[in-house]
Amino acid sequence: MSVTILIGGQWGDEGKGKVIDLLADRVSMVVRSQGGNNAGHTVVVNGREHRFHLVPSGILNPATLCVIGHGVVVDPRAFLQELDLHHADGIATDNLVISERAHMVMPYHPVLDKLGEELRGDDRLGTTFRGIGPAYEDKVRRIGFRIGDLQKPAFLEKKLRFVLRLKNETLTRLYGAEPFDESAILDEYLGYAELIDPYIRDIYPIIQDALQRRRPILLEGAQGVMLDIDTGTYPYVTSSSPTAGGACTGSGIPPSRIDKTIGVFKAYTTRVGYGPFPTELVGELGDFIRETGGEYGTTTGRARRVGWYDAAVARYAVATNGIDSIVLTKVDVLDTLDRIRICTGYRSKGELWDHPMANISHLKHCDAIYEELPGWKASTRDCRSFDDLPPACQAYVQRVGELSGAEVDVVSVGPDREHTLVRSLPLAA
């Protein structure tokens, strides 16, 4: 067994946490590769809900080493709060490490995130206000702070003096907001340093050792392909790379060592925030799916927009990431529908498209082309294997796979571990 990547194929919230949890006890290491506490993975074990934002959900298995890779941006305050919650739930975190190269969300990042959104007005993106975009901006601008900097107080202080000049200039002059106080930030972050210190590692030797021993590794992506800074619906995207490529750069594992790429897709589509969504359902049917699927954000509680399964998006995600196995989640949410649609492509300005176009305005105004399938009108909750599913449901799953360009190996019909129907275990052999 070797390296498997798991990513979201849509706009995030596909149910990746549940799949990671399913696979985590079969691998010796789970590496989270990008994003920050904008992500929210919910895992239900024995009817009990566990919420993850920064910590890989593989932590539920004490034998799995969980790594927060250097592609992640870590808000130390949020990280420590999350640890407290896990500890209160009886989850040990001795098997957790953070790359010293991972960047930190600083106190001014969420403030700048919010002010930036307000400044955009009607063109706002609908970010999570967690400061993720501003943290990645600083990383690329080479004025970011890394987790390892917590172990170098003098360096932290000197750099903060310089960076805070830039930040306070922006805050006060551009936004007319309050400046940040250098010593307050320094005290706060040096306080975190002590608590986070036991988790900080150079992950390079850890990962190299696992690769050399051919230990099974799972790379955990957050968000989804359509929120990718390059391949997504820019600018209505997040600021990282939730793709297979991003999993490699965010962990330091080379593409040549990847054996399998799993794409997680919902049996319909959801997105949070603004931006084009060709299969969006507004009205009663959309409300019904939102309520049935409990489509409210784990991180922000926001109502998610919902729509039909978009196979043009899925094909694009499969093709640009080399997805060779699909996990289809929340199939049970469609149990009561008479007819179910799958989008196969778009019509825009008289042209047919089999993939999402880069032109955001065209994607926003295009017409989705649909194929319609009969609903199965029966509960799938008690099904425990693919063959137990009603024939019309099996046909739907089959068609999703055909139109998306990869086999559907796992179907999920409910939130618990027992609701996961595995046709073929999608891990690298």
If one asks whether residue 404 binds ligand IMP (CB under 6 A), the answer comes out as no
Q: Using the minimum distance from each CB to ligand IMP, give the nearer residue, 270 or 380.
A: 270
Active site residue 41: yes
Q: Catalytic pick from 13, 75, 113, 332?
A: 13
Residue 425 phi/psi, 5-degree rounding, is: -65, 120
Within 20-79, which residues bind ligand IMP (CB under 6 A)? 38-40
If one asks whether residue 272 binds ligand IMP (CB under 6 A), the answer comes out as yes
The 10 Å CB-count burial string (b at 16+, else e) for 124-154 is ebebbbbbbbbbbbbbeeeebbbbbbbeeee
Angstrom distances, CA of residue 143 to CA of 161, 192, 204, 217, 232: 11, 20, 23, 32, 26
Provide, rounded to whole angstroms, the least separation between the CB of residue 102 and ligand IMP: 16
If one asks whether residue 211 binds ligand IMP (CB under 6 A), the answer comes out as no
If one asks whether residue 227 binds ligand IMP (CB under 6 A), the answer comes out as yes
* Count of positions on this chain that bind ligand IMP (CB under 6 A): 21
If one asks whether residue 105 binds ligand IMP (CB under 6 A), the answer comes out as no
Radius of gyration in angstroms for the set of CA atoms belonging to the chain, rounded to a whole number: 21
Q: To which H or E segment does residue 190 belong?
A: helix 182-196
CA distance 26 to 3: 12
Which of 15, 133, 148, 252: binder of ligand IMP (CB under 6 A)?
A: 133
Q: Using the minimum distance from each CB to ligand IMP, give the nearer residue, 288 or 296.
A: 296
Contact segment (CB under 6 A) with ligand IMP among 120-128, 210-218, 258-266, 310-318 equals: 120-128
Whether the Cβ atoms of residue 421 and residue 389 lie closer than 8 Å to each other: yes
Active site residue 365: no
Which of 9, 10, 13, 420: binder of ligand IMP (CB under 6 A)?
A: 13
Contact segment (CB under 6 A) with ligand IMP among 76-84, 166-174, 235-243, 363-371 equals: 235-243
CA distance 408 to 314: 12
If one asks whether residue 10 binds ligand IMP (CB under 6 A), the answer comes out as no
Strands 339-348 and 351-353 turn out to be antiparallel
Q: How many residues does the chain have?
A: 429
* Angle, helices 108-120/153-169, rounded to nearest 10 degrees: 20
CA distance 373 to 386: 18
Q: Catalytic pick from 41, 50, 103, 109?
A: 41
Q: Using the minimum distance from each CB to ligand IMP, give the nearer residue, 134 or 148.
A: 134
Within 337-356, which residues bind ligand IMP (CB under 6 A)? none
Which of 3, 104, 105, 132: binder of ligand IMP (CB under 6 A)?
A: 132
Beta bridge partners of 303: 296
Q: Residue ranges of the alpha helices (H) in 197-237? A: 203-212
| Binding footprint of ligand IMP on the chain (CB under 6 A) | 11-13, 38-40, 125-128, 130, 132-133, 222-223, 227, 236, 238-239, 272-273
Active site residues: 13, 41
